[in-house]
Structure 1
């Protein structure tokens, strides 16, 4: 038993040495804060160390660590968001209704006006507060839609893998992604000042 723990420690030390820089770069890219990125990477390794026995080697250690880090990033933004706390999670049916309501009977935008947040000169994804609002907007999406969006944009999974995970067709997947992006746009325009 002690030998297994020692092997795990050796493997873990190798992972820290091998993947710290790339994990830090990703966290810094996603948060634009050196301190936050350092904390998130440290939290990732702490979690990985405590869960090392659950690593089944179905993916590479790097992929596994990145999935832990991406969850830490999402949690960070969720905790630091300025989205109104009374907002609720949207059901899939409500999601369809809300996204359909953005168009008129001729399937054109009801409003062609570009919202002022999209005209800002700063890169919104470099803004920690904006990313917090976006994380909460993503969290409000129906579960399947949330998984589709986070898998596509945070973990860079391919469409066919996401379809397998969600047990949906490719055309259904693209419809979900499209509708989720519409709802995210609406949520961001409502909640970002």
Structure 2
């Protein structure tokens, strides 16, 4: 049962006022998108697409979750679509990153080459300035990842998505997923060690 009542859409006895969405939720959705996409303009576009999609699907929204949760779910789907498109474009960058990682390990025995072996960061956890500096370096390292790697890593470690769900959404095999995760972690570790004094 859908009906208009003083500018509000009444859907299954749930009242929603789309006019207030931007004021209530735009900042939250934008921050969420920027943290996952590395690009402010794309984040703005996807938030706008989210509001448009929500308007188109409003008649099906029955209030089982809050508007904020519902809009965030739509945005997550928009971000996943963006990741899928990026994944299909990133083959050249993946090959370049893979070739850079060949020197990490000894070809004969598979052990770390001494220059690339893991080293302690020496991070004092009670020093907020050092933690902030490390966070900035990590953000820079994440920006250097190929789009597919960034997509997989952020879905797994920022969104807490299940591995199976990521594989389905990005059309990856289980083996591809774990190889990408391994290579991403190697790449991030090398980048952090290079830029962290």
Task: Give the TM-score taking structure 2 as reference length.
Answer: 0.57
In the TM superposition, what is the alpha-carbon distance from 1:98 to its structure 2 partner? 1.8
In the TM superposition, what is the alpha-carbon distance from 1:121 to its structure 2 partner? 2.9
Paired position in structure 2 for 1:85: none
Residue 174 (structure 1) aligned with residue 178 (structure 2) = yes
CA contact (8 A) 2:142 2:188 kept: yes
Instruction: Name the structure where strand makes up a greater proportion of residues.
Output: 2
CA contact (8 A) 2:137 2:196 kept: yes
**Unmatched segments (≥5 aa) in structure 1:** 31-43, 70-89
Residue 93 (structure 1) aligned with residue 82 (structure 2) = no
The number of aligned residues is 147
Cα distance change of structure 1 residues 67 and 188 upon mapping to structure 2, 3 Å threshold: farther
Paired position in structure 2 for 1:159: 163
**Unmatched segments (≥5 aa) in structure 2:** 10-15, 36-42, 77-91
Cα distance change of structure 1 residues 67 and 187 upon mapping to structure 2, 3 Å threshold: farther
Once the two structures are superposed, what CA deviation does each residue of 1:73-92 show, in whole Å capped at 9, x if it has no partner?
xxxxxxxxxxxxxxxxx810
Highest Rg: 1 or 2? 2
Cα distance change of structure 1 residues 63 and 127 upon mapping to structure 2, 3 Å threshold: farther
